[in-house]
Chain A
Amino acid sequence: MPVIEVENLEKSFRIPHEKKTTLFEALTGIFKPESYEVFHALHNINFDVEEGEFFGIIGENGSGKSTLLKIIAGILYPSSGKVHIRGKITPFLELGVGFQSDMTAVENIKTYGTIMGMSKSDIKSRTDDILEFAGLEKFRDTKLKNFSSGMQVRLAFSTAIQTDPEILLMDEVLAVGDMDFQQKCLDVLNSYRKEGVTIVFVSHDLGSVRRFCDRTLLLHKGEQIALGNTAEVIDKYVYGEQEKNISEATHNVVESDPAILAEDQTSLNNSRWGDQKVEILNVEFYDKFGNLSNRFNSFDVMTIRILYNAHKKVLDPIFGIALYSEKGENLFGTNTELRDIMIDHIEGKGHIDLKIESIPMLSGRFLLTVAIHSRTHDPYDWHDKLYHLDVIPTGRDAGLFDVPCKWII
């Protein structure tokens, strides 16, 4: 039996060009036609969430995730369509809603606990636990305004997790804290999950989504793109938006058009050199489905394609790449010479691929240098850190790179 049913949900906002915020303006402007724009935040959304399910919602900024969550919470009203809820909803859209800076910690626990739906007796019996968990026992009668922001968040979080939710709505605001705090959040989520609480989880952190969510909904510009198995939906998110990725990928391309070259010359001077006997036209990244992308799941297959144009016949060229962290540390480099690949000659347009069987980088942005040079190391065309790709974590290990290993007890 689904506890959340969303049917044909539409939400649009009317954004007036000139907003009338006073009665005076409304009266004086009564004969002026109101001009406004309609922004379609959500369009034709349909899904169910089953009892005890951990349901993820992903999508880039502005895709309508938070709007959807607010409609489920009852904060916003849908323009049309139905949302059916069975059970008590506890929204964690923001921590410390209703905190009063002029009140003491204990008083705020009382107010916030009540807001979060705790009973009076529960609040009374749990106040000490809350303060202890937040590490604020000494400050129980200190006014909130004298707390650091970290202390306030700890207090809010410790209070919020004392509630016994039936349906929990989580926005990513919880992910703002430090590593330790985030871990605490995730631990709490896990224990709720074990207790059979239904959770709707909105996040940019695909690692957490992959780890927790049974099913996931992908939104793109208010449209429902995919719904179902989390791993498949994340794949769609990472590799799906080809249009966007191509435009982003080609953004880095160095055009051979002389006019543009001249214009970009100054900025490119430091990152491109060579005698141009062979020119690198473009560098493309292909995902495991054979689509252009510059966003990859770690451990997935990827192919780097170097498109070149040899203006005349060039003998024995060497193709190379080097991989850098975002800070510019060289992480890896290889070329056809080091791998004992002999290329007799090249002429005209062509391409060469470098296939990576399993991307070992864990997470983050990586820069790529691509070069073609002669065996005597005279560069034909050298593109220094002109390309980048983003790696999205699939596991939970920390750091830049995966080291194949296992624990033995």
Chain B
Amino acid sequence: MSIKHIANLYAYRQLIWQLAWSEFKLRYKNSVLGYFWSLLEPLLMLTVLYYVFSHLMRLQIENYQLFLLLGIIIWNFLSRATGIGMNSIVGKPSLIKKIYFPRDIFVISSCLTALLMSVFESIVFALFMIYFKVPLSIYVLQAPVILICLLILSVGLSLALAALNVIYRDVQFIWAVLLQAGYFATPIMYTIEIFPADLRSIALLNPIARVIIAARDTIIYSSPVQTNDLVFMIVAAVVFLFAGYFIFNRIEPRFAEEI
């Protein structure tokens, strides 16, 4: 991960985009109906969770629909980015074995595909914001910084998972279980206050928890992001990215032989 490598990636920007875009279109089966159905999934999830938590568990959270939807969208992004990214190497044997590009291109474009899908889902979120007449504040300008941290973090995580998945094919199953656990360990359906104080500090070690909290604060609740949260997220993003590249580059020479 050097300046030279970034310049190299920039030279391949067209390919990265083309791969991301065609994957995105494929996911939605290239049809208008496909896009429509893909929106139903988070909406259905929202309906179920909303009913369970606000009527059965009587959770009192201001703008709970939006709270929940933003959490779901962010978590979905992470889960998709790592899911698609993890299979971006093992799933494209001909591109790995018959032609050469810097292989991180495939992982990056997978994360972009996930981003496209999340942007698409965010349309629903924006409509909800308008419907519930939630006012935006100046702090919403902090949101992009948070989301960029999320993107970089996901790229780092996907790089490591994609590479490990080449050698150990059960990594994808282990990761699926971890994601499932993470879904409950992250304040998606509830606030962080639901955790007992001693567990709370552990839960906050999860950078995604902070991303979700910060995103809600800036976008829905018109409040600024906490400085320590911001620093934590930026550091986490950088650490994940470098760790991801470290693992990826170690295993990358074996890709064409192992697939």
- Which residues from chain A sit less than 8 Å from chain B, CB to CB? 13, 20-24, 26, 70, 73-77, 89, 91, 93-94, 97-98, 100, 102-103, 107, 110-111, 114-115, 119-120
User: Which of B14, B19, B100, B170 makes the CB contact (< 8 A) with A24?
Assistant: B170
- Which residues from chain B sit less than 8 Å from chain A, CB to CB? 14-15, 18-19, 22, 25-26, 29-30, 92, 94-100, 164, 167-171, 174, 253, 256-257
Verify A103–B14 contact, CB threshold 8 A. Answer: no
Counting residue pairs across A and B whose Cβ atoms lie within 8 Å, the total is 71
Verify B98–A103 contact, CB threshold 8 A. Answer: no
Verify A93–B168 contact, CB threshold 8 A. Answer: no
Query: Given known contacts A23-B171, A97-B95, A102-B26, what 5 new A-B pairs fall within 8 Å (CB)?
Result: A21-B168, A21-B169, A23-B168, A97-B99, A114-B19
Task: Give the shortest distance, in Å, between A342 (CB) and chain B (any CB).
Answer: 64
Verify B257–A76 contact, CB threshold 8 A. Answer: yes
Task: Give the shortest distance, in Å, between A308 (CB) and chain B (any CB).
Answer: 54
B25: chain A residues at CB < 8 Å are 103, 107
Verify A93–B98 contact, CB threshold 8 A. Answer: yes
Can you list 12 A-B pairs, Cβ within 8 angstroms, ordered by A?
Answer: A21-B168, A21-B169, A23-B168, A23-B170, A26-B168, A73-B99, A73-B100, A94-B94, A107-B22, A114-B18, A114-B19, A115-B95
A26: chain B residues at CB < 8 Å are 168
Verify B100–A89 contact, CB threshold 8 A. Answer: yes
In the complex the two chains form, what is the Cα distance from A111 to B170 in whole Å? 30
User: Which of A23, A97, A120 makes the CB contact (< 8 A) with B94?
Assistant: A97
Task: Give the shortest distance, in Å, between A159 (CB) and chain B (any CB).
Answer: 13
Q: Across the interface, name the chain B residue whose C-beta is closest to A14.
A: B257
Verify B26–A103 contact, CB threshold 8 A. Answer: yes
Q: Across the interface, name the chain A residue whose C-beta is closest to B100.
A: A74
A20: chain B residues at CB < 8 Å are 168
B167: chain A residues at CB < 8 Å are 21
Task: Give the shortest distance, in Å, between B106 (CB) and chain A (any CB).
Answer: 10
B253: chain A residues at CB < 8 Å are 77
Verify B169–A22 contact, CB threshold 8 A. Answer: yes
A76: chain B residues at CB < 8 Å are 256-257
A107: chain B residues at CB < 8 Å are 22, 25
Task: Give the shortest distance, in Å, between A93 (CB) and chain B (any CB).
Answer: 5
User: Which of A23, A97, A110 makes the CB contact (< 8 A) with B18?
Assistant: A110
Verify A111–B174 contact, CB threshold 8 A. Answer: no
Verify A111–B26 contact, CB threshold 8 A. Answer: no
In the complex the two chains form, what is the Cα distance from A107 to B21 in whole Å? 11
User: Which of A21, A73, A103 makes the CB contact (< 8 A) with B30?
Assistant: A103
In the complex the two chains form, what is the Cα distance from A89 to B99 in whole Å? 10
Q: Across the interface, name the chain B residue whose C-beta is closest to A27.
A: B168
Task: Give the shortest distance, in Å, between B47 (CB) and chain A (any CB).
Answer: 30
In the complex the two chains form, what is the Cα distance from A409 to B167 in whole Å? 66
In the complex the two chains form, what is the Cα distance from A100 to B22 in whole Å? 9
B97: chain A residues at CB < 8 Å are 70, 75
B99: chain A residues at CB < 8 Å are 73, 75, 91, 93-94, 97-98, 115
In the complex the two chains form, what is the Cα distance from A102 to B22 in whole Å? 10
B256: chain A residues at CB < 8 Å are 70, 75-76
In the complex the two chains form, what is the Cα distance from A111 to B169 in whole Å? 28
A93: chain B residues at CB < 8 Å are 98-99
